[in-house]
């Protein structure tokens, strides 16, 4: 089983209708996680960003937000603690990235894992070879 | 300073080397704990769960995905409205700026 890191920009698509861009790919990725083909690892900070996105971006009621976050946690094999600080700072300064976004990249680098993202603005492929854009993602064994 | 092996502090941890030497060490841990974390050097490389727990986990994951789909149906995007992904990217943009910090840390 391959371990994979998924950015919040992909996770919020799991709560979106298929008419939205790249939701089909996001659901296919989720299916692979549900079936156990991939083991999902995310940094702990994803929970905070997800709550904001579901509350303000998706406008969910509190009980729906709680259950939605729990449903995400159920898919995670591991919520990883903050990676090495030196690695985060290095990404932040080199790529003028907010520390929250850099945590995903630093974790991918630390664990030598792929980071699938739909944030094509901040997670440019030049930032790290571990970054895979959702619109280009394909399942491989 | 006294050092302590990680498996002393976390009893459901085992090294990959130990498993290679004695697979029964893993099965006896699985009799005591629902999951066992496997270490290679100082890094956790995977988690082993009992078969029955594995099936329960898959059931939980299926239920979680079904709930996500329910939310998607219940809260469709307004036509021409901003998606949650767009909102997230915009917020990340804002958080890079000094203006954001001036606004939130006055």
Q: Which chain A residues touch B86 with a CB distance below 8 Å?
A: 57
Please name the member of B47, B64, B71 whose beta carbon is closest to the beta carbon of A74: B64
Q: Which residues of B touch A78 (CB under 8 A)?
A: 44, 47
Put simply, the answer to whether B47 touches A78 (Cβ < 8 Å) is yes
| Both structure tokens of B33 | 């704990």
- Per-residue pLDDT of B34-60, as tens digits, reads 788 898 887 778 888 887 778 888 999
Domains of chain A: 2-136 (3.40.50.1010)
CA distances from A36 to A32, A123, B44, B48 (A): 6, 26, 18, 13
- Under-70 pLDDT residues of chain B: 1-10, 100-101, 104-106
Q: Compute the count of residue pairs across chains A and B with CB atoms less than 8 Å apart.
A: 114
- Of B47, B67, B96, nearest to A71 by CB-CB distance is B67
pLDDT band at A46 (very low <50, low <70, confident <90, very high): very high
ipTM of model: 0.92
Average pLDDT over residues A119-123: 90
pTM of the model: 0.80
pLDDT computed for residue B12 by the predictor: 86
Task: Record the tokens describing residue B84, joined without a space.
Answer: 């949650």
State both tokens at A131. 């970054």
The answer to whether A119 touches A101, Cβ cutoff 8 Å, is yes
**Calpha distance A10→A13 (Å, rounded):** 5
pLDDT of residue A17: 86
Break chain B into its structural domains and give their ranges: 6-50, 53-104
């Amino acid at each position: 089983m391959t371990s994979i890191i998924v950015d919040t920009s992909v996770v919020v698509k799991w709560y979106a209708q298929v008419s939205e861009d790249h939701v089909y790919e996001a659901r296919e990725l989720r299916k692979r996680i549900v079936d156990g083909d991939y083991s999902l690892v995310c940094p702990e900070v994803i929970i905070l960003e997800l709550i904001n996105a579901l509350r303000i971006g998706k406008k969910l009621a509190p009980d729906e937000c709680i259950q939605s976050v729990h449903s995400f946690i159920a898919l995670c094999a591991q919520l990883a603690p903050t990676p090495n600080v030196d690695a985060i700072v290095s990404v932040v300064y080199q790529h003028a990235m907010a520390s929250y976004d850099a945590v995903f990249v630093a974790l991918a680098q630390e664990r030598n894992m792929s980071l699938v993202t739909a944030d094509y603005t901040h997670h440019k492929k030049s930032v790290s070879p571990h970054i895979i854009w959702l619109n280009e993602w394909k399942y491989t064994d | 300073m006294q050092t302590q092996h990680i498996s002393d502090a976390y009893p459901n941890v085992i090294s990959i080397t130990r498993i290679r030497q004695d697979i029964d060490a893993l099965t006896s841990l699985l009799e005591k704990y629902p999951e066992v974390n496997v270490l290679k050097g100082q890094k956790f490389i995977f988690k082993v769960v009992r078969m029955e727990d594995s099936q329960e986990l898959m059931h939980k994951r299926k239920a979680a995905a079904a709930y996500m789909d329910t939310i998607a149906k219940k809260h469709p995007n307004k036509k021409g409205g901003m998606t949650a992904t767009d909102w997230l990217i915009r917020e990340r943009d804002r958080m890079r700026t000094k203006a954001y910090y001036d606004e939130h840390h006055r």
